[in-house]
Amino acid sequence: MAPLMELKETQRDGTGGVCIAQSLKIPREPMPLEFDKLILRLLETSNARAVIMFANEDDIRRILDAAKRNNQTGHFLWVGSDSWGSKISPVVQQERVAEGAVTILPKRASIDAFDRYFRSRSLSNNRRNVWFAEFWEENFVCKLGMHGKRPGSPKKCT
């Protein structure tokens, strides 16, 4: 979100050519009508039509569906983040409302040296990485000691 805040600041000081009319958030566990409310909020700024979405594909689908239900097909210009990318699932049976969307799909490549490095990591040689223990518990479906992140796990990590 830092680049978005920088863009807002650029606009505020008058050096930018982009207007960010609103910054809306989709709740973590949204109710179905929440998406209709978001569409209505977007419509409050009548001259703002581009919508940049940083959302998962299920929420993207529900936003597009809400736009369709609210008769806004063709009104918004959608820009989708890499969670949309080249996926078809967000637009199935909603092709008309998504028509003209621009989606981003960063170039990805495997880095052999990193893959070798990562596969060589273990609990004993990777203590400085604060997220590694959580990864280990999730990946091996186990719990590290009494204070492990994974509650109720049936087995202890070895």
Q: pLDDT digits over 107-146, tens only?
A: 889 999 999 998 899 888 888 888 888 888 888 888 887 5
Let me know: does 77 contact 103? Beta carbons within 8 Å: no
What percent of the residues of the chain are helix, what percent strand, and what percent coil, each to the nearest 5? 35, 10, 55
**pLDDT higher than threshold 90 for residue 53:** yes
**pLDDT higher than threshold 80 for residue 26:** yes
Quick one: pLDDT at residue 140?
85
Higher-confidence position of 116 and 14: 116
Q: What distances in angstroms separate CA 99 from CA 60, 78, 85, 94, 118, one per listed residue?
A: 14, 9, 14, 9, 41
Helices (H), 29-150: 33-43, 57-69, 95-98, 112-119, 132-140
State pLDDT tens for residues 146-158.
555 555 556 788 7
Average the pLDDT over 19-29 and give the result: 88
* Domains of the chain, start order: 2-103 (3.40.50.2300), 113-158 (no CATH)
Contacts of 35 (CB under 8 A, 6+ apart): 26, 59, 62, 63, 65, 66
pTM of the model: 0.64
Let me know: does 94 contact 57? Beta carbons within 8 Å: no
Quick one: pLDDT at residue 5?
57
Instruction: State how far the Cα of 46 lies from the Cα of 37, in Å rounded to an integer.
Output: 15
